[in-house]
Structure 1
Amino acid sequence: MKLAVVGGGSTYTPELIDGFARLRAPVDQGGLPITELVLIDPATERLELVGGLARRIFAKQGHPGRIVTTADLDAGVSGADAVLLQLRVGGQAARHQDETWPLECGCVGQETTGAGGLAKALRTVPVVLEIAERVRRGNPDAWIIDFTNPVGIVTRALLRAGHKAVGLCNVAIGLQRRFAALLEVRPEELHLDHYGLNHLTWELGVRLGGPDGEDILHRLIAEHGERIAMELRLPRPLLDRLGVVPSYYLRYFYAHNEVVDELRTKPSRAAEVAAMEKELLEMYGDPALDEKPALLAGRGGAFYSEAAVALAAALLGDGPGDIGPGDIQVVNTRNSGALPFLPDDAVVEVPARVTPGGVEPLPAPDIDPLYAGLMAHTTAYEHLALDAALYGGRDRVFTALLAHPLIGQYASAEALTDRLLAHNREHLAWL
């Protein structure tokens, strides 16, 4: 089996490599027997540092697979069974801009939501579509697994263009692991009723023993609500009133002004990550290092490798099999009626049955209007954001910003549009 990773020079690639090295059982046992793994990145200097560590991790784990590094996209994806996308157009410098100029307008500065998230989508969608088209021309049967943010908008662009694509985020698997630790059970014993959009999700149920198991969400909140609320940085009374567990990205909505005040008083996350990346690359250059360093945990992407292995194994298996816990995974995919109040072509983040034949989202339980309304509002924004990314134009950018639930005022949308275009001129061909 051959896999290719576009953006393979990323400093969190060793997190992915670690999972591939450890989880290499046959596909029918939930593993991923990789014979060749290609890391693709135009940044050749850092690619070689990451590739060197990747080879040492494989060697230490006794993995027989071959790791190849290349800057040649077409050669790298040729013959691949699946292509993973984890790129960042503009690097941490562009991310820093996304996280700072929105604050000038009193809006949250974040790389996946709000005005910063739209800027990232505008830069990213055309690049991803070009890559996907080159994959399809040379290898039409390959699956495209997108981990590139904003995952919902990027995956929607891929599906709209007819690609065999599915989006992946680590929020659900991270919460599953955290809840399992609190409850002192194995992670695979917990199934999450995880519904919403990428970075806009709620845990509506936590089931012990599988999709049809006992819902222990209320017990989880009652016994561990203080700890969960602290980690979400939301007040415990709010968690009790909601009766569900929102993802930590909901803090940008539920405590927007508080977050803006915080962000104005500290360095951007991009600045923190840039400093961390410099240190990580120095570590990766050490020929004695043969495992992912502890510092990598602060980089982000925790449990990404486990989620990626499970998804790729399900997509590349020998047959559809029967529905079971191993086949049901949280992914970003076409709605197709799973959330009946959203358009069928919206991309939602929900549990789905994943097989080599495709991805089938599981129908959602009844969803409170408090959550359904915000999902519908954000879906409308994402539709307009994708139009702006595909066709360009200042008016489309303004309209998408005006539609965003965190903006919604014409004066703010005008000011944000001016700043977005000024800071992204080099990345937007239509300008």
Structure 2
Amino acid sequence: MKLTVVGGGSTYTPELVDGFARLRDTLPVEELVLMDPARDRLELVGGLARRIFTRQDHRGRITTTDNLDEAVDGADAVLLQLRVGGQAARQQDETWPLECGCVGQETTGAGGLAKALRTVPVVLDIADRVRRTNPHAWIIDFTNPVGIVTRALLRAGHKAVGLCNVAIGLQRKFAALLSVAPSGIHLDHVGLNHLTWETAVRLGGPEGEDVLPKLLGEHGDRIAADLRLPRPLLDTLGVVPSYYLRYYYAHDEVVRELRTKPSRAAEVAAMERELLTLYADPELDEKPELLAARGGAFYSEAAVDLAAALLGGGGTPYQVVNTYNRGTLPFLPDDAVIEVQAAVGAKGATPLPVPPVDPLYAGLMADVTAYEHLALEAALHGGRDRVFRALLSHPLIGQYAYAETLTDRLIAHNREHLAWA
């Protein structure tokens, strides 16, 4: 089995490699190719990756290359983890929206749209080259904004599934609070990427007992603190929202906070410099503890499970993924990309039935789905008017004066990445 990671020079990659090494019975990788145009980073990450495999007695081969066609040739699956423009672009995404009183964040709001506009054309070009070189390969997208990027891939006819680590992180957290194995926790997870709610926490599987009321009753303060939302809100909702919902439920509070502290991009950039220094140590043969602070917790477990299921080798029977709606949520278009539990196999992901969704969540999901449609149109076809329409439609923006100013700033800060600008 050959797997290719496009963006293999990412500081995330040792987390992924560690998972491939530990979970080799689930996903028996014979060749792992790390592809990245940044050769200096790639060699540091590749060296550590080989040492991790050696330490864990994994017999697979790890190769590095900056040649995409070579990397994907013969691959069974291609995992995308890109950041077009690097941390410098992320720093901008998190900064200029704040100047207009809007959340500055890399996956939602104006910053999220900027990232989508930079990313979608690049990902589609990569996917087209994968299809020409190896039309049978699955594409697993971990590149944000996952919902929009996955929708672009599926709309273009690619064999693609989107992946996020929010659900698996909550599964692990709830399992620890309940003192059960993670495999014994099944989430009724519903929404869009970075806009999700856990409406039930079931023991044993999709038909198991719902222990969410017990979880909130006994551990509500801890869960609320982790989400940075007030406990009474969780009690009122009776569900556990993704931590990304704080950008919606406490928008003005978040804006005030973001204006008074260093950006997450600046923190991550400093962390990446330190990580790369650690990776250069020829004695290091395991992922360093600092990597846990970088983000992407349990990313490797989720990726291994998904790849194994798609390639017919195993994995857990039900997984939270991003895929076409196709009537699962009747209030959204069939070609919306939703994030729900799905049965995953060699033919792809089939969403499990979802109980009727409370209008409180369905309304916001419909709004953001409309935005994602307009965002994809802007990413595919360009033009100031399309950017403006997408921004005006976003629930975190919505006012024409903000949308006008944000449109101009988005284009000004991203001109080098926008072929039409």
Normalising TM by the smaller chain, what interval? over 0.9
Would you say the 8 A contact 2:94–2:106 is kept in 1?
Answer: yes
Separation in 2, partners of 1:2, 1:181: 34
Aligned to 2:200: 205
Aligned to 1:16: 16
Cα pair 1:172 1:330 within 8 Å, conserved: yes
| Residue number in structure 2 paired with 1:28 | none
- Using the alignment, how far apart are the partners of 2:402 and 2:253 within structure 1? 18
Closer, same or farther: CA 296–318 of 1 in aligned 2, 3 Å: closer
SS of 2:94 mapped into structure 1? helix
Q: How has the CA–CA distance of structure 1 residues 40 and 241 changed in structure 2, closer, same or farther, with 3 Å as cutoff?
A: same
| Equivalent residue number for residue 326 of structure 2 | 336
1:357 CA displacement: 1.4
Per-residue CA distance 1:92-121 (angstroms, 9 max, x = gap):
000000000000000000000000000000
1:367 aligned to which of 347, 351, 357? 357
Distance in 2 (CA, whole Å) between partners of 1:220 and 1:340 is 29
1:406 to 396, 401, 404: 396
SS at structure 2 position matched to 1:376 = helix
Q: Which residue of 1 aligns with 2:63?
A: 68
Following the alignment from structure 2 to structure 1, what is the Cα–Cα distance between the partners of residues 300 and 176? 19
Q: How is 1:216-235 mapped onto 2 (pairs within 5 angstroms)?
A: 216-235=211-230
Whether the aligned pair in 2 keeps the contact of 1:354 and 1:360 (CA below 8 Å) is yes
> Could you give the per-residue CA deviations for residues 344-400 of structure 1, whole angstroms, max 9, x where no partner exists?
000000000000012101121111000000000000000000000000000000000
Q: TM-score, normalised on structure 2?
A: 0.99
In structure 2, how many angstroms separate the alpha carbons of the residues matched to 1:302 and 1:175?
10
- Which residues in structure 2 correspond to 1:86-105 (within 5 Å)? 86-105=81-100
8 Å Cα contact 1:49/1:281 also seen in 2: yes
Structure 2: 5+ residue runs without aligned partners?
none
Matches within 5 A, 1:20-169: 20-25=20-25, 31-169=26-164
Give the AA of the match of 1:13.
T
User: Per-residue deviation at 1:318?
Assistant: 5.6
Q: Which of 270, 275, 287 matches 1:275?
A: 270
Assess if the C-alpha contact under 8 Å between 1:120 and 1:150 holds in 2. yes
- Between the aligned partners of 1:127 and 1:362, the Cα distance in structure 2 is 31
Counterpart in the other structure of 1:236: 231
Aligned equivalent of 2:6 = 6
> Paired residue for 1:422, among 401, 412, 421?
412
Structure-1 residue corresponding to 2:246: 251
Contact 2:27 2:313 in 1 (8 A): no
Alpha-carbon displacement from aligned partner over 1:60-82 (angstroms, at most 9, x marks no partner) = 00000000000000000000000
What is the distance in 2 between the residues matched to 1:392 and 1:357? 33
Given the alignment of the two structures, is residue 387 of structure 1 paired with residue 372 of structure 2, yes or no?
Answer: no
Q: Give the corresponding residue for 1:322.
A: none
2: CA distance between counterparts of 1:78 and 1:103?
43
Shift of 1:327: 1.3
Taking the aligned partners of 2:73 and 2:141, their CA distance within structure 1 comes to 18
Rounded to whole Å, the distance in 2 between the matches of 1:413 and 1:261 is 20
AA aligned opposite 1:280: L
Identity %: 80
RMSD: 0.8
* Cα displacement (A) at 1:326: 2.1
Q: Deviations over 1:123-163 (max 9, x none)?
A: 00000000000000010000000000000000000000000
**Secondary structure of 1:140's aligned partner:** coil
The aligned amino acid for 1:399 is: R
* Structure 2: distance between partners of 1:326 and 1:87: 26
Query: What is the total number of aligned residue pairs between the two structures?
Result: 421
Q: Look up the equivalent residue of 1:84 and give its one-letter code.
A: L
| CA contact 2:161–2:348 (8 Å) conserved in 1 | no
Q: Secondary structure at the match of 1:294?
A: coil
Q: Distance in 1 between matches of 2:60 and 2:316?
A: 24
CA distance in 1, matches of 2:166, 2:27: 22
Please list every run of 5 or more consecutive structure 1 residues that lacks an aligned counterpart in the other structure.
Answer: 26-30, 320-324
Distance of 2:12 and 2:316 partners within structure 1: 26
SS at match of 2:40: helix
CA contact (8 A) 1:23 1:32 kept: yes
The one-letter code of the counterpart of 2:8 is G
Q: Which residue of the other structure, out of 244, 255, 266, is the alignment partner of 1:260? A: 255
Contact 2:319 / 2:343 at 8 angstroms: preserved in 1?
yes
Residues 337 and 363, structure 1, Cα contact 8 Å, conserved in 2: no
Q: Distance in 2 between matches of 1:339 and 1:330?
A: 15
Whichever residue aligns with residue 424 of structure 1, its letter is N
